Structure 1
Amino acid sequence: MEVLGKLRNLDAYPKINEDFYSRTLSGGIITIASTIVIFFLFISEISLYLYSGTETKLVVDTSRGEHLRVNFDVTFPSLACSLIAVDTMDISGEQHYDIRHDITKKRIDHLGNVIESKQGGVGAPKIEKPLQRHGGRLDHNETYCGSCYGAEVADDDCCNSCEEVREAYRKKGWGLSNLELIDQCTREGYIQKVKEEEGEGCNLHGFVEVSKVAGNFHFACGKSLDQSQLLISNLLDFQLGEYNISHKINKLSFGEDFPGVVNPLDGAHWTQQTKSGIYQYFIKVVPTIYTDIRGHKIHSNQFSVTEHFRDSDVYPKPPPGVYFIYDFSPIKVIYTEGNTSFLHFLTNVCAIIGGVFTVAGIIDAFVYHGHRAIKKKMDLGKYR
């Protein structure tokens, strides 16, 4: 019993007999107001507890030699699909021309309606007896070796298709201005295909894989040596004034999307007002890692961009087209999702209830004693 008595003396919450309670109107109003405040603060705390906040950290990016996927969806309303190719090149010397895999071309009319959707090039059938390199037609048992029309690198080089002739010319830096004289292009129906698509537009969407490389210097002449390029350019070097490179970028991203990512070029469009040239997007890519609440990591990228149009009055004349020139930031951004721990949530809830009741008690005491003091003075006749 003595121990129980000592425990009773430690009670920090002594009870008051209900006979001594004095309930007031102001106390009831303050109680309702404080309950409402507690309710809204409690709902807000639950929302913060359930919401996954994101922590941001910057680190030096030391990853190199990886591959990067460039996703794009670009529409050229006034340029036929037969005249558009996708090329890539980087500072390591790796070059890819007229990429066709993982890319879909959609022929569209002047209203934007899709006429045809396909992958690859012209694909027209070949005819018999193509022109040999020596000038005669292919004999029955003779191995075919087509001419490269002056673009041969070695004496035994052969160009057996229109694409191989175009590739040979591209490597030489030459332009094909008269395709009617190229036997391979004529017999494959390339000229007819170009004529059929006159007045049409083209939508290209898909992705290309490029090496994640960036240099640390560049030369101001020619193409920058510290930058990689994704070039959507005209396949043939006709008169530059014949091409309208107006375009709309429906989507352009580097890597996989992640929550909250903003691709600044999505929905961007440019209309050509002058003669043809090249339109350049200079892109700074920032490597990004996003870790969600379950610990799943998304390796992606963000980017910023500036734009520039360059006309054709330069030498050598570049092929008209749209260039996406990018390099990488040395800083990597790391986003990590996280939420408040349950113990922290309970602590905040207790702080809300206790704090509001304490403040409400102070206000109630001030109002109650102030009211009693005024009433007492009025009873004494000091207030009239």
Structure 2
Amino acid sequence: MDKVFNRLRNLDAYPKINEDFYSRTLSGGLITLVSSIFIALLFISEFRLYLHTVTDTKLVVDTSRGGKLRINFDVSFPEVPCSLLSLDAMDISGERHLDIRHDIFKKRIDSHGNVIEVRQDGIGAPKIERPLQRHGGRLEENEKYCGSCFGAEASDDDCCNSCEEVREAYRKKGWGLTNPDLIDQCKREGFVQKVKEEEGEGCNIHGSLEVNKVAGNFHFATGKSFHQPSPFLLLDLLSLQTESYNITHKINKLSFGDSIPGIVNPLDGVEWTQKSPNGVYQYFVKVVPTVYTNIRGHTIESNQFSVTEHYKSSEVDHFRSPPGVFFYYDLSPIKVTFKEEHTPFLHFLTHICAIVGGTFTVAGIVDSFIYHSKKAIRKKMEIGKLR
């Protein structure tokens, strides 16, 4: 057993020096005190980093196909009444949605931004169940009402039972509804009166829409959109509307998908004021697919985006684009992944050992330099005294 202990004693890489040969100095004590404080501060800093999460960021190629992209928005137009504001969307696949109303809410606001009324269907009104005419004639007994489309019927069986259905039929034909007072349904619903009541008001429009996960655009236009066989998007502008539109707007919120902790959308709170008469304000958005995983393993698949802006005045627009605010979006082929994780304990232990060892090593070098410098000075002084 003694031989085993002797062999272990021979393996000691830290030979001990008899205390009789130690020489303790004032400078050594100061260096030790400073080193200990420094080590304690670094240990606390490293321990706080260990307790907090770190985010690992990676860029990968987005190989996903198809799917839907949800766009959340909240935009205020202080100079455009809700009756004249519509939302349209289209993409490069050819899918087109005009005057979108599903999951869209409008708030009539005054010049100070105060809410006057909240509505879900624009200025829509209830259908008239039994007016006097059926395609120009009176109803027979037990006959269901079928309102006239005023020449826009695709067949004799088509019915337009409300002002909005008449306008929709006109849009499909590519016609403009220039005088709603001549339309029985619009007159009975008080369509023109409702539009006039909103003169001088603004509109806040908010909600969400789902589009195909391909490049496209959505826009807020001052009027009701329709499409005719030509490749141009036109607007049905009522005769009572003025020719000048102020598209001053404030984007309260715009996001593509769910919110991600720590990510601020660049257009939130952005406000733009129109100074020239008519024009089109355009936002060109680059959407970057993003996957965020928190420390508990919960994953959020969403998007970030960057944006550039451009205003096109009607004075230099030879094609006379309809006034409005357009958002053109395109998807990046690169996906960003964020993953929260803790620093591994072994890494934390390695850092602590490096802090302690490195500090004492540097302190030892400094102490040795000071000690030998003082010793050399003392010898020179003794030699000088002998002479």
- Normalised by the size of structure 2, how large is the TM-score? 0.87
Q: Which residue of 2 aligns with 1:220?
A: none
| Greater CA drift, 367-376 or 79-88 | 79-88
Query: Which residue of the partner structure matches residue 280 of structure 1?
Result: 282
Task: Assess if the C-alpha contact under 8 Å between 1:288 and 1:334 holds in 2.
Answer: yes
1:345 CA drift (Å)? 0.5
Aligned to 1:344: 347
Question: How far apart in 2 are the matches of 1:196 and 1:307?
Answer: 34
Check 1:84–1:138 CA distance in 2 against 1; reply closer, same or farther (3 A cut). Answer: farther
Q: Which residue of 1 aligns with 2:324?
A: 321
Write the letter of the residue equivalent to 1:235. Answer: G
Is 1:105 aligned to residue 112 of structure 2? Answer: no
- Aligned partners of 1:233 and 1:319 also within 8 Å: yes
* Distance of aligned partners of 1:41 and 1:350 in 2 relative to their CA distance in 1, 3 Å threshold: same
Q: Structure 2 matches for 1:1-384, cutoff 5 A?
A: 1-125=2-126, 130=131, 132=133, 134-138=135-139, 140-214=141-215, 228-236=216-224, 237-238=237-238, 241-312=243-314, 317-381=320-384
Instruction: Give unmatched runs, 5+ long, in structure 2.
Output: 225-236
| Distance apart, 1:181 and its partner CA | 1.9
Distance in 1 between residues matched to 2:129 and 2:17, nearest whole Å: 111
Cα drift, residue 377 of structure 1: 1.1
Over 3 Å counting, the alpha-carbon distance change for 1:331 and 1:133 in structure 2 is: farther
- What amino acid maps onto 1:23 in structure 2? R
**Superposition RMSD in Å:** 2.4
With over 3 angstroms needed to count, the CA separation of the structure-2 counterparts of 1:373 and 1:315, relative to structure 1, is: closer
State the SS of the aligned residue for 2:86.
Answer: strand
Structure 1: gaps (5+ residues):
215-227
In 2 relative to 1, CA 383–235 (structure 1 residues): closer, same or farther, beyond 3 Å?
Answer: farther
- d(CA) in 2 for partners of 1:383 and 1:81? 105
Instruction: Kindly provide the amino acid, as one letter, of the partner of residue 63 in structure 1.
Output: S
**Aligned-partner Cα distance in 2 for 1:169–1:310:** 29
Deviations 1:150-209 (A, max 9, x none): 433344332221222222233344433322222222212222221222211111121111
With 9-18 and 273-282 compared, the bigger mean Cα shift is at: 9-18
Matches of 1:74 and 1:318, distance apart in 2? 21
Separation (CA, whole Å) in 2 of partners of 1:11 and 1:195: 98
For 1:47 and 1:253, the matched residues in 2 are separated by 34
What's the secondary structure of 2:194's corresponding residue?
Answer: helix
* Cα distance in 1 for residues equivalent to 2:126 and 2:105: 21
1:355 Cα shift?
Answer: 0.8
Q: 1:379 to 1:270 in 2, by over 3 A?
A: same
Output the amino acid matched with 2:105.
T
1: CA distance, partners of 2:21 / 2:200 = 95
Query: Which has the larger displacement, 372-381 or 48-57?
Result: 48-57
Which residue identity lines up with residue 107 of structure 2 in the other structure? K
Moved more, 303-312 or 193-202: 303-312
Matches of 1:166 and 1:280, distance apart in 2:
28
Q: Which moved more, 1:297-306 or 1:81-90?
A: 81-90
Tell me the matched-pair count. Answer: 371
